[in-house]
Homo-oligomer: A and B are copies of this chain.
Amino acid sequence: MNQEMPNLLKQRAELTPKRLAIKANNEEVTFEQLYKRVQQRATILSKHGIRENQHIAILMRNSVEMIETIHAVIALGAVAVMLNVRLSEQELAWQIDDVEAEYIICNREFQKNVKVYKTIVCEDLFIHHVEEILPSLSQVSFYHDKVATIMYTSGTTGNPKGVMQTYGNHWSSAISSALNLGLQVNDRWLLSVPLFHISGLSILMRSVIYGIGVVLHERFDAAKMNQAIMRDGVTIVSVVTTMLKQMIEQLEKERYPESFRCMLVGGGPVPEKYLLECQEKGIPVYQSYGMTETASQVVTLTPEDSLVKIGSAGKPLFLNQIKIMKNGQECQPNEEGEIFVKGPTITKGYWKKEEATNKAIKNGWLQTGDQGYVDEDGFLYVLDRRSDLIISGGENVYPAQIESVLLTHPNISDAGVIGVKDEKWGQSPHAFVVLKESVEIDEIRAFCQEKLAAYKVPKYYTIVDELPRNASNKLLRRKLKDLIKDNHDVEN
């Protein structure tokens, strides 16, 4: 039985036509208007030759047009392949070839990067001039098991793989999130993370399923984010740690309005320093844990636990289960191991990578590659990406923990840690720091020695202007490794 659901946007437009769907710059679009534009766009795309089940790549910046394009592609029954606009020509070509995309729909500025492929430039589609709309083109129903989108893993490790996300994945993710965070008719979700990442796309899906508005920003800007929370009726925001940090700093002594009810933080553990700062400012922080393969968050800290279990990513969402495995055995509470996740948000697999799929998903359990533990009350603590784990003298050293300590130093504004080869210990931590004010390396070392076990204290230090991050602002530790390849051997 392949369960059916209505065409999400069509149903939403019929149920609550006048509600705000998107607010972007000075434009406000209702669900009714959005649906009409999507029908227009689908009609044009159909005339360009886009058909059901084709893979259609989208290479665009966050914009109302991008949202319309995504909806139009899936309305036609095609699969939307979400491409990262920061990728190089070669990287794009790799993904486009791998996914066998029929067309690339792109902003004009990106056309040069995909010039060898069949492209449709979004700016050339004058949808408001379409007179004849072909509503029969739109799928009346979506099916749980059908692939809606493909997204390549951010590539912090290995070659990117195309993660297939079904309608059932997106639906279950939105529902699980609502059961945890609640849902109010007046909710508005601020979207400044890229729509081509699951963090952004999942907000779009929620908007349509919940019938709530998205306040859309093209890119992250701390001041504009704070402004939107202050003035645009935003109740929920999705960010990653570095964004949160900049927003708090920019906020200074101001406070968010009472109606702002959720700062959802993903993409890695939040250092305690920021959590405490948010507590002071009355900002309701919900840490979460998720990935492209789980169609966004699968573990989130519930309201009543957010101040009790600082540092935890929380408990699974209602439809999800987690377990910690080590050497093929399920771990005891508080025992460290690898995090496994189960539930209807788990991807049906990697596009044309059966072996990788079978290795990653067994009996419905996804092996995340991340390290962590679950405490005696069932709360997950994410320690680190396994690939970033530093093993020093047989001890596991988690870069995130060291970074968290470095960030408590008053002169340090950002920090990243990787493992480098060490004759004696196998590996040693190497720290990269961005400074607010000048400070001696020896002082930083002494600061770490005070707060960390000896084997965790970084042996090497590099001062940099900024840390390499991907479009989701996630730290790219492998790029840190590239930075120092000439200096000393790096484990890859």
Contacts and interface: CB of A to CB of B under 8 A. Distances in A.
Contact of A11 (B1, B11, B318): B318
Contact of A5 (B6, B183, B319): B319
B185 A183 contact: no
A393 interface: no
A464 interface: no
- Range class of the A interface residue count: 35 or more
A182 B185 contact: yes
Nearest to A316: B15
Nearest to A19: B304
Nearest to A186: B182
A90 interface: no
Contacts of A303: 185
Contacts of A378: 14-15
Nearest to A377: B17
B209 A179 contact: yes
A3 B169 CA distance: 12
A344 interface: yes
Nearest to A321: B6
A136 to B, nearest CB: 16
Contacts of A2: 1
Contacts of A175: 175
Contact of A184 (B182, B209, B211): B182
A161 interface: no
Nearest to A320: B6
Nearest to A184: B182
Contacts of A5: 319, 344
A304 B19 CA distance: 9
Contacts of A316: 15
B183 A14 contact: no
Given A18-B304, A182-B183, A184-B184, A3 B6 contact: no
Interface string A174-208: 01001100111100000000000000000000000
A18 B315 CA distance: 14
A472 to B, nearest CB: 27
A332 interface: no
A210 interface: yes
A333 to B, nearest CB: 13
Interface string A260-304: 000000000000000000000000000000000000000000111
A178 B144 CA distance: 20
A16 interface: yes
A375 interface: no
Contact of A183 (B3, B183, B319): B183
A318 to B, nearest CB: 6
A31 to B, nearest CB: 12
Contacts of A302: 15-16
A403 interface: no
Contacts of A210: 179
A145 interface: yes
Contacts of A6: 318-319, 321
A205 B16 CA distance: 26
A93 to B, nearest CB: 35
Contacts of A179: 178, 183, 209-211
Nearest to A211: B179
Contacts of A318: 6, 11-12, 15, 209
Interface in A205-254: 209-211
A144 B3 contact: yes
Given A6-B321, A182-B183, 11 more contacts: A3-B168, A5-B344, A6-B319, A11-B318, A12-B318, A14-B378, A15-B318, A19-B304, A182-B185, A184-B184, A185-B303
22 contacts: A1-B1, A1-B2, A3-B168, A4-B344, A5-B319, A6-B318, A6-B319, A11-B318, A14-B378, A15-B302, A15-B318, A16-B304, A178-B183, A179-B183, A179-B210, A182-B182, A182-B183, A182-B184, A182-B185, A184-B184, A185-B303, A185-B304
Q: List the 8 closest A-B pairs by CB distance, nearest first.
A: A183-B183, A182-B183, A15-B315, A182-B184, A182-B185, A175-B175, A185-B303, A14-B378
